[in-house]
Amino acid sequence: MSSAVASKTAAAASGHPPRRRNESRRNQTVAAYALILPFVIVFLAMLVVPLVYSGVLSFFRTQIVGGTVFVGLSNYVQAVTDPLFLGGVGRMGLFLVIQVPIMLIFALFFALALDSGRVRAAKFIRLAIFVPYAVPAVVATLLWGYIYGSNFGPITQVISALGLQAPNLLSSNLVLGSIMNIVTWEFVGYNMIILFSALRSIPTELYDAAQVDGAGQWRIAWSVKIPAIRPAILLTVIFSIIGSFQLFSEPQLLYNLAPNAIGTAFSPNLYAYNLAFINQNINYAAAIAFLLGLVIMIVSYIVQLTAQRREREQGAA
């Protein structure tokens, strides 16, 4: 009895009766759900429903005799043994091992240089490094395709003017490296901005303490800055892994310049595109797309698990 009287007295003293507070809380909940409803609708319509539909398609096959029939995991078994798909995955694995470290090293170097405060015209340089990311991939690929051209490209013209034999940068032996260069040019600035933002969030007291201990700029960068932005570095690594296996625009556009070097299955995404829209084999293309997503998830999980294990070992040490 006394507790009920005390609660009523407290509610009256606060000026907000329990019923009014409950109504206010309910209105806030309704408003919150109303605000996220458009996103939920778009998310379901543009991502979940197409994924479910593609998953259903991957279990069927369209035949000349019999029409569309259920084949279970037959498309997935065919994809696992498909040399074109496996070749594309292996090619993108090589792309990942070579291009991603080079790109992230450049991005980290630029971010550390700009964060040091010793670079003149830092704002202009930061913008100049980031501008290639703002250029659409189609425009960037066409630009570099012109630069790589064996008949009209400036690289060939300069080397030929020196009396040397210009290499065919779009040959089967060099085209992967040429695409690596395009992607690096496009995404160094994007990753640099992520790392630079993480560096700006580090407390300056850590730098002051390191300088008091006699650490120079290189020592501070290696022992203070880089360990402090490991989560940001891991984020750029995962984004780069996803982007590597999703490579499409660059080989698809360069195919017109070097069809024999690139082919229709240069990357798994390009292979799935040609299967679906050129060969009209939508069911098999859906299976290829799901297997590619599985490969991306496995590689990303391994990288994240390795990074977490290394952090735990260093923490224990």
pLDDT at 161: 85
pLDDT in tens, 151-165: 788 888 888 888 888
| Mean pLDDT of the 311-316 span | 73
User: Tell me: domain 74-316, CATH 3.30.70.100, correct?
Assistant: no
244-279 burial string, b = 16+ CB within 10 Å, else e? bbebbbbbbbbbebbeebbbbbbbbbbbbbbbbeee
Mean pLDDT of 156-185: 90
Average pLDDT over residues 170-197: 94
Q: Residue 167: its pLDDT value, please?
A: 87
Instruction: Kindly report which listed range (47-51, 151-155, 313-317) carries the lowest average pLDDT score.
Output: 313-317
Give the pLDDT mean for 168-182.
92
pLDDT higher at 305 or 17:
305
SS (H, E, C) 12-63: HHHCCCHHHHHHHHHHHHHHHHHHHHHHHHHHHHHHHHHHHHHHHHCCEEEE
Could you read off the pLDDT of 57-101 as tens digits, one per residue? 999 988 777 678 888 899 999 999 999 999 999 999 999 999 999
- Whole-number pLDDT of residue 1: 47
Q: What pLDDT score does 40 carry?
A: 93
- Whole-model pTM above 0.75? yes
Neighbours of 290 (CB within 10 A): 19
Token couple for 290: 């799901």
Q: How far is CA 168 from CA 2, 82, 145, 177, in A?
A: 91, 30, 12, 12
How confident is the model at residue 287, as a pLDDT? 93
